[in-house]
Amino acid sequence: MNTEKKSSEKIYADAVTVLPGGVSRNTIFHKPFPHYVSGASGCMVTDIDGTQRIDFANNMASLIHGHAYPPIVEAVTEQLKKGTAYTLATEVEVRYAQHLTSRAPDFDKIRFVNSGTEAVMSMVKAARAFTGKSKIAKAEGSYNGTYDFVEVSQVSSPENWGPIDHPNRNPLAFGTPPGVLEDVVVYPFNDIENTLNLLDENADDLACVLIDPIPHRVGLFAATDAFVEAVYAWTRKHDTLLVFDEVITFRTTYGGAQQNYSVKPDLTALGKLIGGGFPVGAFAGRSDVMSVMDPNESPLRLPHSGTFSANPITMTAGYVAMQDFDQNAILDLNELTARAISQINEAIKLADVPMSISGLGSMFRLHPRRNAPESYREAFQFKEEKAVMTKILDHMFYKENIIMVNTGTCMFSTAIGQQEVDRLSQGLMNAFKANKAELNEVWDRYHEKHKKADPKG
């Protein structure tokens, strides 16, 4: 029997021989090697080397109640004894669909899938099937999953993003078919005039306009009321659908971020938290649009199935998670997050560093800026800025034992309390002070590059 103690470094040496780069998802990669989990409970994660960390990433916003939430563990354990997947429907799928559609008045019907990417992809395909058009419009810099069309211009930079009134359509992955780029219109988020002009130029061909109401990669600030209303009005005139990506943002209020607007999307993609810690996706919306998948319809405009869609494990876990993430839980979590932001702002002031915070609800993001950005091009970070942000995140991970998303973002869970918030704000204070000189130097460089790159033009 091998009694040699495991270590993350040793496991990684094996990992690189069988996994590209030693990982199955690049977001968990840490230099010089990623760390491997021994166990997790609540807001704490312990790696196999014995280090315990507070988790403010929560598997990229998917664990709304933290790790090993007892009611979910109990419910899933009971379901496991009955089976994990069948070539039959389950009642829990229906009950969970009833619950989710009750949370948002514009959710007439819902279809479950297996990831946020699949939800957005299927939503786009449903919009095309319903309208008979092929093009989509999406925001510059927005991450909407790993689907060719919505990846376009996800990481545009000053070298290739082009003029603000006609942003370039840049592929993310090498080998993306040129035809993909031709069917995507890239608009500048929250820029009404330029967005509407771009939509007008493609009015006859647009199946949908995709909006993430609080796009993480763009900068984690909300779509303005005026912007959403303007796009909605345009779609009504041109037989185009307005579709929302709420894979992350559905956590912000009981009915999602769309609850904050006077107009509602035709379709909405969901994911992350609605799986209760298991792989999940869903899209919901108008009955007439969702009918493109109805097997009773002839012709069937969008044949749609999935081997593990609506599997009883995910449905059980998600149903428990969302029932417990009720109005009071949301208000409490948002209030705790607001206190964290206040404390971190105080830490920024005391450390006297160029840092700002954006975000809503139970999530926020740090920016190496004196003032929070208001557009993707303002939020864009040059390599020097990314380097100093990596140092801050490494300080948090290795010296403060705190896990954050690698963009400098926190996604709270209900397992987090004031004690953890105090640890976070103090840890960031320490990180700011340790990197103060470099933060200020990079800020000065940014201003020079900002003038040359002209992010608004």
Among 96, 143, 254, 319, which one carries the catalytic annotation?
A: 143
Among 12, 245, 264, 446, which one carries the catalytic annotation?
A: 245
Residue with tokens 């040059």: 382
> Secondary structure of the chain: what % helix, strand, coil (to 5)?
45, 15, 40
Distance separating alpha carbons of residues 124 and 121, to the nearest angstrom: 5
Nearest to 158 by CA among 143, 174, 140, 146: 140
Do 351 and 344 form a contact (C-beta atoms < 8 A)? no
- Name, in order, each residue with C-beta under 8 angstroms of 425's C-beta and a sequence gap of 6 or more: 340, 343, 344, 346, 347
Q: How is the beta sheet containing 52-55 ordered, strand by strand?
A: 37-41, 44-47, 52-55, 402-403
Q: Is residue 272 annotated as part of the catalytic site, yes or no? A: yes
Question: Exposed, middle or buried, 164 (CB in 10 Å: 0-12/13-18/19+)?
Answer: middle
Residue with tokens 């309390």: 417
**Residue 110, Cβ neighbours under 10 Å: how many?**
21
Among 187, 212, 272, 319, which one carries the catalytic annotation?
A: 272
Q: Is residue 143 annotated as part of the catalytic site, yes or no? A: yes
Q: Is residue 31 annotated as part of the catalytic site, yes or no? A: no
**Residue 436, Cβ neighbours under 10 Å: how many?**
14
Distance separating alpha carbons of residues 332 and 288, to the nearest angstrom: 37
Q: What amino acid positions are annotated as catalytic residues? A: 143, 245, 272
